[in-house]
Amino acid sequence: MRILAIEKEVPGVSDESFPPFLQAEATRAWELHQSGIIRELYFRADREGAVLVLECTDVNEAKKHLATLPLVKAGLIAFDVIPLKAYPGFARLFSPESAKPSKIGLSSGNRTTRISAK
């Protein structure tokens, strides 16, 4: 199962608290990435914080792995953990209903062209 983990601020933590843990944090994140637990790892562009995509059996397993990160262990960061599921909408493209001719009109200048699903 894919899990989205979004870093959230821990009140009262100063920026000066982080440097002693950053090397160990990078090492542990690398280990989790190499083991296939962390699939993707980003920093937010709009504000401070990390966003991780994990592959775990469930939310509890994801929380267990996140708890091994040195910054989490030290209480400097925390995560909102969100289970994800695949988007099912593409199945509509291949349903028996989708085989019928489309009634969607496309404008081409002054005339409208019909689209067929064939």
Q: Are strands 2-8 and 50-55 parallel, antiparallel or unpaired?
A: antiparallel
Percent of the chain with pLDDT over 70: 82
| From 33-37, 77-81, 102-106, the region with the lowest mean pLDDT | 102-106
Q: What is the pLDDT of residue 104?
A: 54
Tens digits of residue pLDDT in 23-60: 999 999 999 999 999 999 999 999 999 999 999 999 99
Instruction: Select from 33, 55, 54, 51 the least CA-distant residue to 42.
Output: 51
Instruction: Select from 79, 76, 87 the least CA-distant residue to 32.
Output: 79
80: which 2 tokens? 């909102």
Percent of the chain with pLDDT over 90: 75
Mean model confidence pLDDT for the chain: 88
Q: What is the pLDDT of residue 22?
A: 97
Q: Angle at the Cα of 101 (from 99 to 104), degrees rounded to 5?
A: 120
Domains present along the chain, CATH in parentheses: 1-118 (3.30.70.1060)
Cα separation, 75 vs 86, in Å, equals: 32
